[in-house]
Copies of this chain bind each other. A is one copy, B any other.
């Protein structure tokens, strides 16, 4: 798929992946894979960006003797998803401009 198209989805997709349950890097990649595959370096960049923007918080927890970084969505992050839904209406409007067939399909 076109990389550019992915760009707008990546951030919200990561937020969606941790929305219902805190998660960590490797797990997020696995969960997103069926929808949108991304490399580790990309994910960690995104997670850092979202943390800096206050859309998620991080806490380390031990798992099998190793530390894992768990990511938790904030209210701001939830709001970001809602904003995305609003943006979607515009996206659909643009989509129809692009695919405007002559009214017959």
A residues lining the B interface (CB < 8 Å)? 1-2, 4-13, 15-16, 35-36, 81, 83-85, 87-88, 90-91, 93-95, 97-100
Contact = CB atoms under 8 A, between A and B. Distances in A.
B2 A8 contact: yes
- Chain copies in complex: 2
B87 A16 contact: no
B7 A7 contact: yes
Contacts of A5: 7-9, 87, 91
Given A35-B97, A97-B16, A100-B16, A1 B90 contact: yes
B4 A11 contact: yes
A17 to B, nearest CB: 8
